[in-house]
Structure 1
Amino acid sequence: MAIVVKRGMSIGAMSAEEDLKFLSKCFVDTGQAEQISDISNSKCIALCRTGSGKSALLMHVEETEENFAQIDPEDLSLRYISNSDILRFFEEIDVNLDVFYQLLWRHVLVVELLKLKKEFYDADSARRWLTTIMDSFNKNPKRKAAVEYLTHFNGQFWLDTEKRIREVVDRIEGSLESSVGMKATALRAKVEASAKATSKAER
């Protein structure tokens, strides 16, 4: 029997994010939702081409799982990081910043998970939780170091992801600038001037 699409009939939106009417009704569970919900499963990462159904899959997981948190790439201040003078300078002189980026994303994920697990809504709720665990962790060096790290950043727990990343990047920039003894913009200008002088001398 031929399928007839009548004028004005809705057959769904172009993307899963916009197709709230049909997404739940038409979703076909192939077992992938269970795979990506199990963090012990090596297949828990959904890495696919555009249009393959990642958004629909994640929206289904959000509807069916009790503990779910979403970090939108648009909230990660990627442009702010890429425009950082100090980070660009160190990349230009071939300093490997892989560890910096790994620790930055790890920081973001740890804070998001803490907010979800401990329900941090403001400065007071984060401070109260840190106070309760401070004494019990003091005898263990690793746990004590973790608490000190969290205490250092506890003022950002209830901020949105973008603001937290900007705060962390700004602090690291300040530390890097202190280590070289001048602002990144001034240091870059000095290096560029030196490079131009060398180029002229070679001519």
Structure 2
Amino acid sequence: MEMTIGSLKRLIAESIGETFKHVGFAPDKTNTWYTAKEGKRKVAKVFVATYNYLPNSIEFSFIFQLFIPEIDEERKKLCIAQGIDYQAGPTFTIAEGFFYHKLASLSPKHKNAFSHVIKSDEDISSAISDANDIIKKELIPQLVSLFNLESFQKWVSRNMEIVGSSPLLLPALIASRLSSSSDFLLTLSVIKSDQYFQSLPESDFIKKSVLDYENYYS
């Protein structure tokens, strides 16, 4: 049976609609994006890409953008160095694949939420229901919490395992959220004190990135 993109589109529209306003579809109708505003200022955009690479499967990823009022050359350099797409606007794009494969790690009960074997209409409904639950109850609140520096620091402290599973997520968040080197170093100290972070091997991308940033700003 053929998986329909339309079902996933409706799911995402319903899930994100309360926080992110739907603003359009890509020409091929397989991608869509949503924006969130703080007053009149646009503060974030979620670009949702959907795929049917394999028969009877749904795969989709998120690209999350934070819009900030001003950007300096140093932050641009940090973005470029980490392979983060900097766009005029100004915008930082958090790595494609945001919560892509690892989104299910948010909750044990969602272990297979994005790898359902589709054999019937009931299986499709189950997959969409699980995905909807994650997006609405776990992903969106976390995205919203990132708009605030204090809550961002708490989020990093609580969710190092999730952050660590997305290679460019942490550097992108840090580069786009912090306004001064003192704030930056403070947040790095919070991250470094995290037990999960300390358990990472020295070769881990996230660990190396944090230490590189610390050396850069110290």
TM-score tier, shorter chain, comes to under 0.3
Q: Which has the higher contact order (CA 8 A, sep 6+)?
A: 1
Q: Which has the higher strand share?
A: 2
With structure 2 as the length reference, what TM-score do the two structures score? 0.24
With structure 1 as the length reference, what TM-score do the two structures score? 0.25
Specify the structure having the higher radius of gyration (Cα): 1
Q: Which has the higher helix share?
A: 1
